Chain A
Amino acid sequence: MKDDVLLHEARIFGRYLLGETPHDAACNLYIHAITTNPQKINAADARLLDYVHEHPRAIGLVDAGLNLLNSGSEVRRRIHLMFSILESTPHYHKKFLSQPHSFWYLGTIAVTGIAGLAKTAAGVVLVKAVAK
């Protein structure tokens, strides 16, 4: 896979995980990790990767659907790899380190959980349609 394709992939995964475009240094680490440890991609995962490259806003749904349907998918491995790179980048520490919250933050947690389950339901349908 060419570096410019991987750079695009790192950026869209980074935007998905952070809500902002990640620094180039983090993207370069992602490219280095993927190229030095290449994994075989099956046809379904290849279709899903192409799909998220073209529809970056759908990554959350694809990720959620895959967690239920194929949690060991190469797509999820790559998202997970980018997650670990960003988690170990000091600039983004607030997005990963636990922060103190009031009791009422539990409401946010509940809403996040319920919304997340809804995304998973939609994601299952999407993954089945794209990976077919």
Chain B
Amino acid sequence: MKNVPVADYLVVGSGCSGAMAAQTLVESGATVTMLDVGFTNPDYKKLVPIKNFIDIRQNEADQHRYFIGDKGQGVVWGDIGKGAQITPPRQHMIDSVDKYMPLNSSDFSPLESLGYGGLGIGWGLQCWEFSDEDIKVAGLDSANMPDAYETVSKRIGISATKDDAARYTMVHLKNYQRSPKMDRNHAQIYKIYQENREYYHSKGFYLGRTPLALLTKDLGKRKKYSYHDMDYYTDHEQSAWRPWMTVDQLKKKRNFTYIGGHLVVKFVEKRDYVEVHCLTIPNNEPVVLRCHTLVLGSGAISTARIVLRSHDKPNARLPLLCNPYTFIPCLQPSMMGTGTEDKKLGLAQLSLFLDESHSNFDISVASLYSYQSLLLFRLIRQVPFLNIVDARTLLQYFAPGMVIMGVHHPDHTSTSKFVQLASATSPTKDKLNVTFELSDEQKAVINERERKFVKIAHKLGIYPIKRVDPGMGASIHYAGTVPFSEQDKPLTLNPNGRLHGTKNVYIADSSGFNYLPARGLTFSLMANAHITAQKALKHD
């Protein structure tokens, strides 16, 4: 086993948290090494042409390779669950996860990643800020989060609009580009809302443009969005920010080193340094690296594994937070039979917030998507009763009027949601057992809120077909496994993000959150990663 000194700061993971923490450390002049498994799939970069979706569909002979995959691997059969939108060019995101991070649960099925860029490879780019109350209850640094949001926004480029829903989407943000043009489905919904805003407000609903990590003006070498509607397949022109772009930039710095092909298993803190025990991928050979300060940023569930293995009681339970999620396919009759739209954005363009108490806390939120570039084959197996040919005739007519409403609900810690390591025959010799049960009270609140979303959707001219429960874990929002605590308790973080009981081990991902608001956590976890890295620097 090699025991190699590598750096002052060792950052684990190349996802949104790892990339942001590493950038902050590197910009301070510190010597930083990033440890990552980092699966990639470079073949697709060259394969997908820079053209719009309709042009590709009409003319490109090789399109099956990125739309369905060379072996048809993009044609998923069986229950709808997590990651139904992961296309072949993004499937390296989930490569070998079952092998290296086995997980056992009857009620929870998360999406995890060993890819270069982590879950950020397929992130929906939504950049909602947490409200002040969210920040406080989550245990985040209230004083520094506004500036941290600003810093992250300058780094990644965010497009947004100060509108009706701004108090839910961008409380503090000052540095942003204008939102992209809405497609005709969203423009129609927004128009209906604007005509009768007071009515929606009286019901506790606020609709606004979704802030996105998407450029509408060039930023450095990254180009503004060209409305090619190929967002699920390619990062061409880099108009949408992905963590790998930041890590690629860091690789050009002299004080940054990227080491791929390493799975971090555990750490051992010594008197003057931290030992980081890894397995090389794919050979599974043990390697030990040394650093002064360890910054874990591999995601709440993966970090839980590392922390538990490093603890003197590896079978301890850690809490888990995850936003309950339901998606509701809807029909927008005014758009049915209108044909395809050439220039379009495939991402969420509008967010609908339900805040009956007008407190801007513990709210639920729906993201609205129109449906085009994921092709009909993903939808057609959901059509009941009909054979596939008749179903296609109907879907071709209905598809331009398909709007998907993805509803997220907040989550609080409870004793019925936890993770625990157990022995197993895997490269790391363990698996993670997950129990995730919602209380009857939480289920009732979710049900009641979703009924209200369904009702208000009718008023907005979109008619829900059914509520689809993809199962717990499908929101891909995980947090709270090593929560912030003022008390010096094991398996918790101090307010600076340092793991209690250690001198130089920090956690920069969402593991510390004590509460998970419904508005997506990615922007906030990046801001928190920046703050944690700053505090790790000051600690020295």
Closest to A72 in B: B78
A97: which B residues are within 8 A, CB to CB?
54, 57-58, 340, 396
A119 touches B397 (CB 8 A): no
Select one of B61, B337, B375, B386 contacting A64, CB under 8 A. B386
B75 touches A100 (CB 8 A): no
B397 touches A105 (CB 8 A): yes
A37 touches B388 (CB 8 A): no
A-B interface contact total, Cβ < 8 Å: 140
A84 touches B386 (CB 8 A): no
B68: which A residues are within 8 A, CB to CB?
84-85, 88
Residue A44 is within 8 A (CB to CB) of chain B in the complex: no
A59 and B389 alpha carbons, distance in the complex (Å): 10
CB distance from A3 to the nearest CB of B (A): 16
Which residues of B, 372-399, contact A by the 8 Å Cβ criterion?
375-377, 380-381, 383-394, 396-397, 399
B393: which A residues are within 8 A, CB to CB?
108-109, 112
Residue B29 is within 8 A (CB to CB) of chain A in the complex: no
Closest to A96 in B: B376
Q: Given the interface contacts A87-B375, A88-B375, A101-B397, does A93 sit within 8 Å of B57 by beta carbon?
A: yes
Closest to A79 in B: B388
A90 touches B72 (CB 8 A): no
Residue B357 is within 8 A (CB to CB) of chain A in the complex: no
A61 and B370 alpha carbons, distance in the complex (Å): 32
B376 touches A60 (CB 8 A): no
Q: Given the interface contacts A33-B72, A64-B387, A98-B399, does A90 sit within 8 Å of B63 by beta carbon?
A: yes
A68 and B386 alpha carbons, distance in the complex (Å): 8
B389 touches A117 (CB 8 A): no
B387: which A residues are within 8 A, CB to CB?
60-61, 63-64, 67, 116, 119-120, 123
Q: Which residues of B contact A (CB under 8 A)?
A: 54, 57-61, 63-64, 67-68, 70-75, 77-78, 337-340, 375-377, 380-381, 383-394, 396-397, 399-400
Q: Which residues of A contact B (CB under 8 A)?
A: 16-17, 29, 32-33, 36-37, 60-61, 63-64, 67-68, 71-72, 76-77, 79-81, 83-85, 87-90, 93, 95-103, 105-106, 108-109, 112-113, 115-117, 119-120, 123
